[in-house]
Structure 1
Amino acid sequence: MDVARLTPAAARALFRDGLVRPTAGWCRGWTQANLIAVPRDHAFDALLFFQRNPKPCPVLGVLEPGQVNGPLLAGGDIRTDLPAYTVYEDGRQVAEVTDARDVWRADLVAFLVGCSFTFESALLEAGIRIAHLDQGRNVPMYRTARRCEPAGGLSGPLVVSMRPIPADRVADVVRITARYPAVHGAPVHVGDPAALGIRDLDAPDFGDAVRIGPDETPVFWACGVTPQAAVMESRPPLAVGHAPGHMLITDARDSDYLVL
């Protein structure tokens, strides 16, 4: 199965039927999104947190309480159409499930947040290889020592994703990804991970470690797992998110978020 050529609806149907896979490289040309859903009583804090931290938390869409689909997943179901979900109670991860209907509540407000998988197609078209795709791994993600700006009862660290990039292509990567501000845009850091407070690239907080070649430089982008790190720190009574790397594949095109 050539997952890069699947339509979003076909991919979502596979996940609804129980297939569990990281979604990097799936449905090339179609936008992927992070999910975080919180009770209505906490939704304003979440929205304010996202507005104050647009680099890691660019909002692509919001579903009303009780709503399970919308323009980004026409005819779909936000509770079943991702490969895997994380469930938090009072900030503690209590489950990872492939179907969130049993834990979903009618008062949950679902936020869809931009994902850096979206600009990977543009990098590939420019001849820039993606390590986690080549190595068959989930993208590595790390908590950093940088703090997001808090909002109400929500606070937490910036989370970043990392891709090793040949040193002579770093400028190209910065230029290409800067044209996608709705899906994290340009990197937040290039080079020494210690400058972000990351001690060991071989021990990501989420996802899988990847091999870094001798001519490659680690490049870091703000990551849509940041809201889940904030949930872990701030401890709302319930939250449901995507399992890191297991995204919602939407009906929007990558080109919809390209700034010329």
Structure 2
Amino acid sequence: MSLDIGGKLLLLGAGKMGGAMLEGWLKLGLDPKLVAAMDPHPPADTAALLSRAGVAVNPDLAAFGAPAVVLLAIKPQMMGEALPAVAAGVVASTLVISIMAGKTIAGIAALLPPGTAIVRAMPNTPAAVGRGITVAVPNAAVTTAQRAAADALLRSTGAVEWIEDEGLIDAVTAVSGSGPAYVFHLVEALAEAGVAAGLPADLAMRLARETVAGSGELLHRSDQPAAVLRQNVTSPGGTTAAALAVLMAEGGLTPLMQRAVAAAKTRAGELAG
């Protein structure tokens, strides 16, 4: 079954995230003849994908015609320069989806025709391997059909959650948008702890990487809560219980993570203006 969004798609920005999404769409059967990508310097892997699939790159937008969907995957600081160039092609039936960090629906709408349907979305980097999660919020102009099209496009790289309150996006950014970095740092910290315990550095890193990756996959496949999975590993009076007594003590991992997420949320608000 092919991915049908009811018309043409214009991808503005074909960097790593834009390229990952495009790859997902093509795998789901989106007709490459209906897609155009605007990017002066796409990365080599994305450029190869564009060429291999036969996707038009930097076409004349007037000749391309009015798109059903415009997906904004450019860097936030490029919005003021890049968006007016495509605004002329946005018609009443066009849906604009933005994955630009920090840019509000109001800020995007100011550069587009009045009444444009806009979905603001926050993906994360595991989208590159089809295991991301995206949180999306629509404005009032988005129709049921447009929301379904946005959901299908965003779901090509992983799970999708919808919210109605754009004010939650800063917290989303702090948890899932920035969250992969927290997990990668956990790997670093666990490996360093292994070295401190006497393991060779390369072995400690392999153990840390595979433990975190494997635990994530177990969590993904299981329908049990994370707390139950934790308890399943923890024998009373055993080694895991001794470690968790440190991690779960007052001032341990939970309040540390709360401070980290709060700092990220505050910064997200500052960047959004």
Q: Which TM class, normalised by the smaller chain length?
A: under 0.3
TM-score by length of 2: 0.25
Compute the TM-score of the two structures, normalised by the length of structure 1: 0.26
Greater per-residue strand proportion: 1
- Higher RCO, Cα 8 Å, sep 6+: 1
Structure with more helix by fraction: 2
Larger radius of gyration: 2
